[in-house]
Amino acid sequence: MKYHLKHHSHPLITGTLLLTGAGLVTRLIGFFYKIFLSRTIGAEGIGIYQMIFPIYGVCYALTTSGSEIAISRFVSRENGSGRPERARHVLTVGLGLALGLALPTAYFLYTNASFLALRVLQEIRTVRLLQILAFTIPFGACHSCICGYYYGSKRPAIPAAAQLFEQFSRVGAVFLIYRVVTEHGDSLTPLTAVVGLVLGEFASMLFCLFFVSGEYTGRAASASQSLSPAASGGSLALPMLRLALPVTANRLCINLLASAESILLPLCLQQYGHTSEEALSIYGTLSGMALSFILFPSVLTNAVSVMLLPSVSESQAAGEHQDLTRTVRRTVAFCLPLGIAFTVFFLLAGSFLGDFFFHSRMAGEFIMTLAWICPFLYLNGTLHSILNGLGRTGTGFFNNLTGILIRIFFVLAFVPSFGIQGCLWGLLAGQLAVCGMNLKALRDYLHN
């Protein structure tokens, strides 16, 4: 037992450090990229750009989220049982499932972009953005599944490098386009940022395919040829679907509601008295500027979350109840003080950060208000990952669903009367509720 715990603590720590380092560099690049966009396309342009991400989130949830988690969990199980050849077969089956959904979804998004822009987003300027965005879906599905394979194998170096490669490709492409258009006297538009998104996903997919191809050659190929009939695609597809479908349904429902929240917010801001342009500028300042600061420290907790899922799954399979209890306690002991520290920092420095980096007093005010969600925001991601690792996807779904419904209620009930402040109150109430329910669910599980 002692050896087992010691042996498996190193991949978690090493993987977390790798993902944290890559995530930190990626967030730094992305952070300055947001500053660059705020000064080239403006707050309204960022608002238009951010409007397409609810649609993107729904497409990602439908095509990728369930397959990635299923691949990670099944690969972890097969490797833990000494069957690496089946782990590779898991990836093959998972890729087939994901691409089987991604390709028709991309086609639907491209051909129905006008309807979605006019009837759903209610912003005609997003039509071309949605059409270009459609190309990211199969690229993203492919590279996410491969990353899930490496996470499940506790080899996070490739996903970490792919994350960096994607960010460098995206930002580099947009900057080159910016240089070209400015030389011709033109200006950057939100469409350019979406083109960069596509190029980044495509580059990341090629990067992942290059490395994973080595898993299917040489000794790997020989091992895969020795698979027993029980390791056929059909025998893996059904149990993977049983895990992936609930996760996909959960994520899809959550993203649909999050999309509704993002669409309703500008409309409710107009009811408060803002013009359409003002509402988009406020939305862009909140989602594209203020939240960039609030989410920046979560690079560390996100890395912990990714590595927790396979580790928790292995501990559960081995019956290591005490190890699970220690994992939860250490997670809380790490994330909660981190969140409190950044709450204090953002309260003290929020005004300066918004004014200095974005030249926006509004962004500074949003940062100071959002500072209060940091302890719960940073803790919720890791707790949710532990629940997924334990197979309690239904519990995690219900908790997140409750949080989003609370936020939508605040948008509908308070934003028309109190403006954007009502949305900020809803974010705090939703995160607090989800955190409490996640902790209660884990306590009940560990004490049974």
- The answer to whether the CB of 412 falls within 8 A of the CB of 426 is no
Contacting residues for 316 by C-beta, under 8 A, at least 6 apart: 324, 389, 390, 391
Q: What is the pTM of this model?
A: 0.77
Distance CA 124, CA 127 (A): 6
- The answer to whether the CB of 378 falls within 8 A of the CB of 338 is yes
Residue 345, Cβ density class (10 Å: 0-12 exposed, 13-18 middle, ≥19 buried):
middle
What is the pLDDT at residue 354?
92
Mean pLDDT of 29-58: 90
- Length in residues, the chain: 448
Q: How many CA atoms lie within 13 A of 136 on its CB side?
A: 24
What is the pLDDT at residue 11?
58
What is the pLDDT at residue 202?
97
Mean pLDDT of 122-126: 91
Q: What is the mean pLDDT of the chain?
A: 86
Percent of the chain with pLDDT over 90: 48
Closest among 138, 123, 102 to 48, alpha carbons compared: 123
pLDDT at 374 exceeding the cut of 60: yes
pLDDT at 4 exceeding the cut of 60: no
Handedness of CA 110, 114, 118, 124 (dihedral sign): positive
**pLDDT band, very low/low/confident/very high, at 199 (cuts 50, 70, 90):** very high
Mean pLDDT of 395-421: 93
**pLDDT band, very low/low/confident/very high, at 377 (cuts 50, 70, 90):** very high
